[in-house]
A = this chain, B = another copy of it.
């Protein structure tokens, strides 16, 4: 099924969806996790763990160590609440936590924003190529660096 109806979420709906997905995975939705997700979801670009640590520290009036942020980001990535952007060493919130996709990120070298594509046909081809080469447990990383329409 290449065409697919996405329940794109934003704001409260996104937070609710994230919470539901995390609980559904047997994990707890704690204050710390909520805070980190909130920062990630409102950040305009892919956020580094240190960016998030700073924001959350401010919000809480108390230093939160990057360490703690990494733990939670790892959990988010594992449960599909967030994605890591490999070529930027940074993370973005997944706007439809319920759906599993190999997603494609377009990252602007100028302004740093990332836009998100889903193209199951394309990612499927990448998967197939890797599997054809004998790879198993395949996780595609498909990103495109370039200059976005706004920065041309």
Show the binding face of A for B, using Cβ within 8 Å: 86-87, 104, 106, 108-109, 115, 117, 119, 122, 125-127, 129-130, 133-149, 152
Q: Give the CA-CA distance A30 to B126 in the complex, in Å.
A: 38
Task: List the B residue with the shortest CB-CB distance to A86.
Answer: B87
Take A119-B129, A135-B147, A147-B136 as given contacts and tell me if A141 and B86 are in contact as well, using a CB distance cutoff of 8 Å: yes
CB contacts (< 8 Å) of A130 on chain B: these are 106, 144, 146
Sorted nearest first, the 5 A-B pairs with minimum C-beta distance are A134-B149, A135-B146, A138-B146, A130-B144, A86-B87
CB contacts (< 8 Å) of A134 on chain B: these are 148-149, 152
Task: List the B residue with the shortest CB-CB distance to A105.
Answer: B141
